[in-house]
Amino acid sequence: MPTQLRRICQDFEEYTKRIRKAPHDPQVWLSRAVWFAGYGVPYIRENHWPLLAAADAYKVYKWFSCPKFRRENHLYDIPGAELRETKLQACRILVKALLDLKDIQRARYYVKEEGIYESLCKEDQSRLRRPLSEDYRPKMRAQQYPWIPARFMDRTRYLHNIRENLASRGLALIPSRIGKRNENNLGVFAMKRFKKGEPLFEEKTLKPSRHTLHSVFHFFDAAIKELKKGAPRHLLDRSELGALAASYNDHENVFRFRTEHLGYLKAKDPRLLWNTDLDMWVLDTAHQRCSTNQFGLTEERADRKSIRWSVISPMASLFQHSCEPVAQWGPKDKECADMMVMTAIRNIEQGEEIYDSYCDDGDLEWRREQLKHWIGGDCMCTKCVKEERAKAERDTNARDSGVEMTDSATTSPSTGSSSEVDSDGDAKMGGTS
């Protein structure tokens, strides 16, 4: 492990230990928030985590500095004036983190709410004054946190049952032919011949919902139940989540600071807010895995109204993408999203990799834009490469045609009027004789 990375992991563990020792002390949360944001920490600032800084500061700002919250949850007393100053300190850190996230709109809200504009540094004041475009939407790149224990990143132990299920259906999970050939980049291959229309497998999906947030809340609920039973299992150690891989690439996705995660924990049990097994980095990692592997599904109801669902299928998420898929994933029953089936849409030969499509059909640019969230770059499937070459050829022909037309216009004899250039270089127009 590189020295800098080792230092980051050690510092993270040290700050988290302090929180475990004094989970009700707002200052230990704020000190970690400052570290997450990289303020005054050069080796952090290059790869800081403003989302986590915002989460820790938000907890203090919203709850830990609230006298009523502290009384209701039997936390030790802190003088009112000290709590007020703590709240303002948390708000300033929260605003700086939101500005780092380019969420200027929300940062302005908290500045106005607490009247802290004058206490901010000139740089932050300048960032707050930046005009917002009409299509303003903050974006950020998903981050894989370096301190995640290796056991939570090793998918092989979670995929054992899935491999067995696939094998029983004549399918194999091995390194894909798309992208880098390694054990982490997997694809599903046919170990026998499948005919068009033949089902490849069926799977009961994880709890369907109308929003990704609700899907990840399903996992939160399971972890919370086990915590209350006294036999806790880490959220990221759940087999359903362990089999899913998040997409970490340079593509920036539309982002909004999700206070819903923290609000959900508070609504379930305020004590969960200071449980480090449910830290924001844990919740965000679970959210990334769900959002990367969710499938949009339109359910047709008997009353002819349709509902858009978000469902998660661990097995279906293992299929690689192609804009020319050989299989199609959909509901077994159009009126129920609980059971899904993968069906061959053409004959599939033995040894062939089976591709699904991650997006609807459309032109090249539209498809590639839609796929960046999952692929992290331009789709280079056979269809996209063919269309890209055809487009480049058309553009080349159009340019060549334009040059020919220009040359033709330049060399063609003039009719109706003539022009000549005088000694000063000015054009003199004259009629034809």
Instruction: Indicate which CATH number applies to the domain containing 351.
Output: 2.170.270.10
As a whole-number percent, the residues of the chain with pLDDT over 90 amount to 38
By residue range, what is the domain housing residue 12?
1-136
Question: What is the rounded CA–CA span in Å between residue 87 and residue 90?
Answer: 5
Q: Closest by alpha carbon to 171, among 155, 140, 193, 203?
A: 193
- Of the CA atoms within 13 Å of residue 65, those in its CB half-sphere come to 23
- Please state the rounded mean pLDDT for residues 139-161: 82
**Are residues 9 and 128 both part of a single domain?**
yes
Angle at which helix 80-100 crosses helix 26-37, to 10 degrees, equals: 20
For the beta carbon of residue 407, count every other beta carbon within 10 angstroms.
10
**Are residues 24 and 126 both part of a single domain?**
yes
Provide the mean pLDDT of the chain. 82
Last residue of a domain, one of 382, 397, 423: 382
**Are residues 132 and 156 both part of a single domain?**
no
Residue 418 pLDDT > 50, yes or no?
A: no
153-196: pLDDT as tens digits: 887 777 888 888 899 999 999 888 876 666 667 899 999 999 99
Query: What pLDDT score was predicted for residue 420?
Result: 38
**Are residues 19 and 160 both part of a single domain?**
no
Confidence of residue 406 (pLDDT cuts 50, 70, 90): low
Q: Give the chain's domain count.
A: 2
| Domain annotation covers residue 38 | yes
As a whole-number percent, the residues of the chain with pLDDT over 70 amount to 79
Quote the tokens at residue 300: 């047709």
Q: What's the pTM?
A: 0.80
